[in-house]
């Protein structure tokens, strides 16, 4: 596949991501499925170019606006080739061909520049959308720029070893035999960080179920559930089932895990992952809403309940750079209200003395600490179990009582988790 063909393919993919109201990773997967003639190596280059442009979108748009140009996918690509890759107008002309006079003029204006500019506002340099800026400044204070900069780097590839099928040492050995640099994760006891981003088809442990792709922070959230063999556990917002898998493996395939979600299609896809991992103690339960009658019928029937609530996703911007620019389907205020409703309903499932874990992949206080404060005020039968008591092996959290992880401080996605216990009266 020629360089020209790869660039044109990347431009087509950028236009598709802009047009379709779905996360970029889902659009990319669907786009490549209909273009099976593109070789694997070229797919990687095309996708990487897309994500480079997405990670620099605010800065590219600002630079385009300086010259009175619209922020279209094509103009962003031209600006990235000139400013991000340092290509000359003549080189870009040879690569893309068919440049109009206006585009040639733009490239002449950009030539010799860089993506950033001395007059660029801090929020633009940090790729921070206006809707999240005040909350993130409140969250990070003087560390705002450093924390946001960490979310502009591509995420590492983290794996979680399935102890029912392999040991971490064995998977590390297999990865190194494949020529991949791999090390144990710093905090997660079953995690492995791979130093390169290989084609996933090269990783046989994913096919056999010996390992799953899961960010180290997500692994730690599942660890806080502390599920024991023989217990009854609910993953109330199971989604694709990553944390469900981790919880079920903690239980050594004994006891019962119920994976709930309002999306039946997601649960069906998750069920295949459960089978591949060799886990038989999981059942799926589609819910109509968070107040589904099933919840009332099973009131007080579970030892552990995880609420991995739908959230703004600000902690995942490293791997989902387009998410910060997509207009939210609901405003933050509506999302916070939904989280409270979900947490209130799921709490009914916890038996006296049982554990409730509330988690998000958000960095915003309104979705995290403030949400827990409001829940405790409305539910005096629950108390916080401080992190030092719930998981004394976890050190360095950004909050003294809760698990609070950020890309800059911990090298993980941004996660929050609070461990709550229902008092026995």
Annotated catalytic residue 260:
no
**Catalytically annotated residue among 128, 237, 311, 361:** 361
Distance between CA atoms of residues 65 and 232, nearest Å: 56
* Residues known to be catalytic: 361
């Amino acid at each position: 596949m020629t360089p020209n063909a790869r660039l044109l393919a990347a431009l087509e993919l950028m236009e598709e991501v802009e047009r379709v109201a779905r996360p970029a990773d889902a659009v990319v997967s669907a786009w490549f499925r209909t273009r099976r003639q593109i070789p694997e190596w070229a797919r990687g280059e095309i996708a990487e170019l897309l994500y480079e442009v997405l990670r620099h979108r605010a800065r590219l748009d600002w630079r385009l606006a300086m010259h009175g140009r619209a922020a279209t996918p094509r103009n962003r690509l031209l600006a990235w080739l000139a400013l991000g890759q340092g290509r000359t107008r003549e080189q870009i002309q040879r690569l893309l061909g068919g440049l109009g006079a206006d585009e040639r003029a733009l490239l002449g204006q950009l030539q010799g520049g860089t993506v950033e500019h001395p007059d660029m506002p801090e929020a633009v340099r940090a790729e921070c959308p206006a809707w999240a800026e005040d909350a993130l400044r409140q969250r990070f204070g003087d560390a705002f720029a450093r924390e946001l900069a960490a979310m502009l780097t591509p995420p590492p590839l983290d794996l979680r070893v399935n102890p029912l099928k392999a040991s971490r040492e064995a998977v590390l050995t297999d990865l190194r035999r494949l020529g991949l640099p791999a090390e144990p994760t710093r905090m997660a006891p079953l995690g492995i960080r791979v130093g390169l981003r290989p084609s996933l088809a090269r990783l046989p442990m994913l096919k056999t179920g010996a390992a799953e792709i899961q960010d180290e922070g997500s692994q730690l959230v599942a660890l806080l559930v502390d599920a024991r063999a023989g217990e009854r556990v609910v993953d109330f917002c199971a989604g694709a089932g990553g944390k469900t898998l981790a919880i079920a493996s903690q239980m050594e395939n004994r006891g019962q895990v119920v994976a709930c979600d309002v999306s039946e299609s997601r649960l069906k896809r998750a069920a295949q992952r459960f089978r591949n991992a060799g886990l038989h103690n999981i059942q799926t339960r589609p819910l109509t809403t968070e107040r589904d009658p099933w919840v009332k019928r099973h009131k007080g029937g579970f030892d552990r309940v995880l609420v991995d609530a739908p959230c703004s996703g600000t902690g995942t911007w490293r791997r989902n750079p387009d998410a910060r620019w997509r207009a939210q389907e609901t405003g933050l205020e509506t999302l916070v209200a939904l989280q409270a409703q979900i947490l209130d309903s799921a709490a009914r499932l916890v038996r006296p003395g049982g554990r409730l874990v509330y988690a998000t992949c958000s960095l915003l206080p309104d979705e995290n600490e403030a949400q827990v404060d409001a829940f405790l005020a409305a539910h005096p039968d629950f108390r916080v179990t401080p992190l030092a008591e719930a998981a004394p092996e976890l050190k360095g959290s950004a909050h003294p009582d809760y698990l609070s992880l950020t890309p800059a401080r911990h090298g993980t996605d941004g996660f929050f988790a609070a461990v709550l216990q229902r008092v026995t009266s």
